[in-house]
């Protein structure tokens, strides 16, 4: 997007928009992971916290981008201002991607239920 004076070739827009739509479905995996990594009694709270994340980003980034527009619009050409503003979106995306790498793999099982059954089996074997 940062080439050709801010006018990307139309041939690249179709794959980029497909990738955008495809990657938006990852949000559902966040809800599933939150249910698996928290006690079953708090499943509603954990999924609502994940859902809040989907609203925090869109509420924080526009004021940040607006501030960039306010500060630099009088000194830089419009294309450069947009480049600077959308770099913040790229940084937010990279932070989210890096955070995703630290999600614990649960193999589609609730880790609290799994730990409870292991403890029960161990105590039954000792008796």
Question: Could you tell me if 41 and 113 are in contact, meaning their C-beta atoms sit under 8 angstroms apart?
Answer: no
Q: How many residues does the chain have?
A: 127
* Segment 21-69, tens digit of pLDDT: 887 777 788 888 888 888 888 888 988 888 888 788 889 999 999 999 9
For residue 50 the two structure tokens come to 């994940």
* Segment 105-126, tens digit of pLDDT: 888 788 876 666 555 555 555 5
User: What's this model's pTM, rounded to 2 decimal places?
Assistant: 0.66
Spatial separation of the C-alpha atoms in residues 63 and 72, rounded to whole Å: 14
For residue 1 the two structure tokens come to 């997007």
Helix axes 43-72, 78-100, angle to 10 degrees: 160
């Amino acid at each position: 997007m940062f080439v050709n004076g801010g006018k990307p070739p139309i041939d690249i827009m179709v794959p980029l928009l497909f990738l955008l739509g495809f990657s938006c479905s990852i949000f559902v995996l966040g809800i599933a992971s939150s249910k698996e990594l928290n006690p079953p009694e708090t499943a509603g709270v954990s999924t609502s916290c994940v859902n809040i994340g989907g609203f925090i980003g869109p509420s924080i980034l526009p004021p940040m981008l607006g501030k960039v527009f306010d500060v630099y619009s009088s000194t830089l050409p419009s294309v450069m201002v947009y480049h600077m503003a959308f770099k913040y979106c790229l940084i937010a995306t990279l932070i989210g991607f890096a955070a995703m790498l630290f999600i614990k793999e649960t193999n589609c099982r609730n880790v609290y239920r799994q730990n409870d059954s292991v403890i029960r089996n161990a105590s039954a074997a000792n008796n």
